[in-house]
């Protein structure tokens, strides 16, 4: 008898998520809706904990970052200015036989022999002059490619078609065929990912608005208001957590690529390097081993960018995602957006592969400049210290400065295939304003996905253990080893026996007392081992059991103490009820 095959890890994670109430398919009773997911009781707690840890780390524990909570639907001009209306699209290709839709850049690269037909005819005399091709993978018989050809012409209305004008050609690394059946795909066409809706009752094109595809743009659009109302000064950041919507061509890998998801984004505004140079005399640029522990006044964008990569890595480490499960991808110049100076993706080793969790981009002044241009409202800041420092430069020093900056901007324009003369003019205008103490801030943007992070912490926490009971029976159990900060339930509270009123009363008292400070779960049903197992599967890091010692039946010394059991090593210790909070809170906050 063959041993049944173990389901792969991702399948087990998905199944646990449903069984224990972490994540469900949206609208499941109606067959679900692709790319949309709901969070059950435990999942909602995990997400809330992630949101809270992010918000606390990114703003409450910092003096230089403030929060924002903006609307999902904003003025459509925002998305024109940001470039989303014109360029926020993915290439889409359809299978000519099954009509299945693919993201063209996600189709697996394949090699083999392409069978091409100029057309087909059938027994009724019907013909088709459409050419069609199919890829034959190595080792497969030519008939399988011809079968796909027949399916194509059948779908064009021919009965038992005979293929015509067959030619063959060897190809390598093509993405032009459906990897599932070898059929030709349509040429890729851009597909805009923004969902749209209509604001107001008339629903004309003039009322068209978009569900935001990222939270970042609201931060740029409100930059001036926040600056004027928060008493912040560059360098400072504005962060936001909220829903984003993208009509992804192929949502996939459970919640990893969804159509509705949450983002946690920071826009950290810094002075351009040229301003730092005028203010500080020189600019600190990144070099291996540079000290990133505390921001310095002479930091240029490279140092700020590296600083945020370090900060974000420390955040992940602090919620249990260590260096063993993280990786980094520094985008190559070809991958970078035209306005970006650098971008690093923080990756997580998901069961389906190492994929992006967060992107940290140095975006220059692109966003605020775009909004300045499109809204007509200045987005510049004024820095009196900068104006004073510039006034101390003599004319020769200013001229040298302007020449150098102009040369640098022109070189960058040339590299990015932009108009060099326009860049020179812009550089001179920029320097003129800089000497008056004015500039449009540059931005470093750490942008993370909350749902991806929830999936990462659930997949990372998933462990299986073989446990042998007193009768020698071995059972495989699931344990979610969440970091206590992220665990949905922090503490299980159990009376040892449910038919002993004094134990139940004391357990309820402990539960009532602690639940105001941490998320507790009261459970009195089943053997104590079962109750521990249930909490292990939910990822609860601590459980306390109220027993006869607690109620003083074994003497005064143990009265008002409980058994505190630790999930990860199963260790148990006696702890005074009055000391429980002091022991647990530092580990979960
Ligand atoms: N403002 C920059 C921005 O939105 P992005 O790389 O498109 O950048 C940032 O998105 C993060 O948002 C990603 O690293 C990912 O964690 C999350 N994200 C993006 N698209 C997503 C999707 N379809 N489903 C789930 N999370 C997504």
Atom of ligand 1 nearest to the CA of 251: 23
* Residue nearest ligand 1's atom 19 by CA: 449
Ligand 1 atom at shortest distance from the alpha carbon of 361: 2
Ligand 1, atom 2: nearest CA belongs to which residue? 447
Query: How far out from the chain centre does Cα 144 lie?
Result: 41
Residues of the chain with pLDDT under 70: 1-4
Classify 336 as helix, strand or coil.
coil
Task: Supply the pLDDT for residue 126.
Answer: 94
Structure tokens, 95: 């299978």
Which residue, by CA, sits nearest to atom 16 of ligand 1? 449
What would the 3-class secondary structure string for 468-491 be? ECCCCCEEEEEEECCCCCCCCCCE
Closest among 402, 422, 398 to 410, alpha carbons compared: 422
Distance 52 CA to ligand 1 centre (A): 19
What is the number of helices (H) and of strands (E) in the chain?
17, 29
Pairing of strands 572-576, 542-546: unpaired
pLDDT of the residue at 2: 57
Within 160-280, strands assigned E span 162-164, 167-174, 189-192, 196-198, 208-210, 236-245, 260-270
Position 472 scores a pLDDT of 86
Of 416, 534, 574, nearest in space to 16 by CA: 534
- Which residue out of 88, 248, 263 has the highest number of ligand 1 atoms within 8 Å of its CB and is therefore the one to mutate? 263
Closest atom of ligand 1 to CA, residue 246: 23
Q: Which two tokens stand for residue 141?
A: 């018989």
Whether the upstream peptide bond of residue 235 has omega within 30° of 0, thus cis, is yes
CA gap 157, 120 in Å, rounded: 11
Q: What whole-number distance in Å separates Cα of residue 586 and Cα of residue 579?
A: 12
Q: What would the 3-class secondary structure string for 295-334 be?
A: CCCCECHHHHHHHHHHHHHHHHHHCCCCCCCEEEEECCCC
243 CA → ligand 1 middle, Å: 11
Give the number of C-alpha atoms closer than 13 A to the C-alpha of residue 466, restricted to the C-beta side: 3
- CA 58 – ligand 1 centroid, Å: 18
Measured in Å, residue 29 CA sits from the centre of ligand 1 at 28
Distance (angstroms) between ligand 1 centre and the Cα of 37 equals 16
Question: Which residues, at least 6 apart from 296, have a Cβ–Cβ distance to it below 8 Å?
Answer: 284, 303
Q: Which of 359, 361, 446, 451 to mutate to test the pocket of ligand 1 (most atoms within 8 A of CB)?
A: 359
Residue recorded with tokens 């709901």: 38
Q: Which atom of ligand 1 is nearest to the CA of 359?
A: 14
> 288 vs 66, 285, 291, 292, 347, CA distance in Å?
30, 10, 9, 11, 21
70 near 241, Cβ under 8 Å? no
User: Whose CA is closest to 536, among 478, 466, 470?
Assistant: 478
Most informative mutation of 211, 262, 356, 448 for ligand 1 (most atoms within 8 A of CB): 356
pLDDT of the residue at 416: 83
Characterize the bridge pairing of strands 119-121 and 110-117.
unpaired
Residues with CB under 6 A from ligand 1: 214, 216, 246, 248, 257-258, 261, 263, 265, 356-359, 447-449, 451-452
Q: What's the pLDDT at 4?
A: 65
User: End-to-end distance of the chain based on CA atoms, in angstroms?
Assistant: 51
Using the mean position of ligand 1's atoms as its centre, give its distance from the Cα of residue 357 in Å.
8
Distance between CA atoms of 481 and 541, rounded to whole angstroms? Answer: 8
Looking at ligand 1, which atom is closest to the CA of residue 257? 24
How many beta carbons lie within 10 A of that of residue 299, not counting itself? 24
Helix (H, G, I), strand (E, B) or coil at 84: helix
Atom of ligand 1 at shortest range from CA of 358:
14
Residues 6+ apart with CB under 8 A from 52: none
- From 214, 449, 450, 457, give the residue whose CB has the most ligand 1 atoms within 8 Å, as the site to mutate: 449
Task: Please tell me the distance from the alpha carbon of residue 194 to that of residue 137, in angstroms, as a whole number.
Answer: 36
Determine the Cα–Cα distance for residues 443 and 454; give it in Å rounded to an integer.
27
By alpha-carbon position, which residue is closest to atom 20 of ligand 1? 257
Give whole-number Cα distances, 315 to 120, 263, 334, in Å.
Answer: 61, 16, 29
Nearest CA to ligand 1 atom 4: 214
Q: Which atom of ligand 1 is nearest to the CA of 447?
A: 9
Index of the ligand 1 atom closest to the CA of residue 357: 16
Torsion of CA 271, 441, 416, 411, to 10 degrees: -40
**Percent of residues in the chain assigned helix, strand, coil, to nearest 5:** 35, 30, 35
pTM of the model: 0.92
CA–centroid distance, 213 to ligand 1, in Å, is 9
């Amino acid at each position: 008898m063959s041993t049944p095959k173990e389901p792969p890890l991702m399948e087990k994670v998905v199944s646990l998520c449903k069984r224990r109430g972490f994540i469900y398919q949206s609208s499941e009773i109606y067959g679900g809706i692709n790319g949309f997911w709901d969070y059950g009781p435990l999942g909602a707690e995990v997400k809330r904990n992630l949101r809270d840890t992010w918000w606390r780390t990114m703003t409450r524990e910092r003096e230089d970052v403030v929060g924002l909570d903006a609307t999902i639907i904003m003025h459509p001009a925002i998305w024109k200015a940001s470039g989303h209306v014109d360029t926020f699209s993915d290439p889409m290709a359809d299978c000519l036989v099954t009509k299945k839709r693919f993201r063209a850049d996600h189709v697996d690269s394949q090699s083999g022999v392409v069978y091409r037909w100029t057309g087909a005819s059938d027994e009724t005399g019907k013909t088709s002059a459409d050419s069609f091709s199919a890829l034959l993978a190595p080792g497969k018989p030519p008939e399988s490619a011809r079968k796909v050809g027949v399916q194509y012409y059948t779908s064009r209305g021919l009965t038992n078609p005979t293929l015509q004008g067959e030619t063959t050609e060897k190809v390598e690394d093509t993405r032009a065929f459906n990897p599932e059946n070898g059929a030709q795909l349509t040429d890729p066409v851009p597909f805009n990912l923004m969902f749209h809706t209509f604001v107001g009752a008339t629903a004309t094109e003039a009322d068209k608005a978009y569900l935001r595809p990222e939270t970042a743009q609201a931060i740029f659009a409100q930059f001036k208001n926040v600056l004027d109302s928060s008493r912040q000064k560059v360098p400072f950041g504005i962060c936001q957590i909220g829903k984003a919507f993208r009509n992804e061509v192929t949502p996939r890998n459970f919640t990893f690529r969804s159509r509705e998801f949450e983002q946690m984004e920071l826009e950290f505004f810094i002075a351009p390097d040229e301003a730092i140079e005028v203010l500080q005399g020189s600019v600190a640029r990144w070099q291996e081993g540079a000290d990133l522990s505390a921001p310095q006044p002479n930091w240029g964008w490279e140092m700020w960018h590296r600083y945020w990569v370090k900060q974000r890595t420390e955040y992940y480490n602090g919620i249990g995602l260590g260096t063993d499960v993280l990786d980094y991808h520094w985008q190559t110049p070809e991958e970078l957006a035209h306005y970006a100076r650098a971008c690093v993706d923080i990756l997580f080793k998901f069961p389906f592969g190492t994929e992006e969790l967060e992107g940290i981009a140095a975006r220059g002044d692109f966003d605020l400049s775009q909004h300045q241009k499109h809204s007509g409202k200045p987005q510049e800041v004024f820095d009196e210290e900068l104006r004073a420092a510039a006034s101390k430069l003599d004319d020769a020093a200013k001229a040298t400065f302007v020449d150098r900056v102009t040369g640098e901007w022109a070189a960058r324009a040339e590299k990015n295939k932009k108009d060099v003369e326009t860049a020179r003019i812009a550089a001179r205008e920029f320097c003129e304003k800089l000497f008056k103490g004015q500039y449009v801030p540059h931005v470093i943007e750490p942008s993370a996905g909350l749902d991806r992070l929830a999936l990462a912490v659930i997949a990372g926490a998933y462990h299986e253990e073989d446990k042998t009971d007193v009768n020698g029976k071995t059972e495989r159990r699931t344990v979610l080893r969440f970091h206590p900060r992220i665990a949905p339930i922090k503490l299980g509270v159990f009376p040892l026996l449910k038919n002993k009123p004094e134990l139940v009363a004391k357990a309820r008292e402990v539960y009532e007392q602690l639940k105001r400070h941490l998320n507790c779960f009261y459970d009195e049903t089943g053997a104590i081992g079962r109750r521990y197992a249930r909490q292990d599967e939910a990822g609860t890091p601590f459980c306390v059991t109220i027993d006869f010692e607690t109620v003083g039946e074994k003497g005064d010394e143990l009265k008002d103490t409980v058994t505190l059991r630790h999930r990860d090593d199963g260790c148990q210790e006696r702890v005074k009820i009055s000391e429980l909070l002091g022991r647990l809170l530092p580990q979960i906050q």
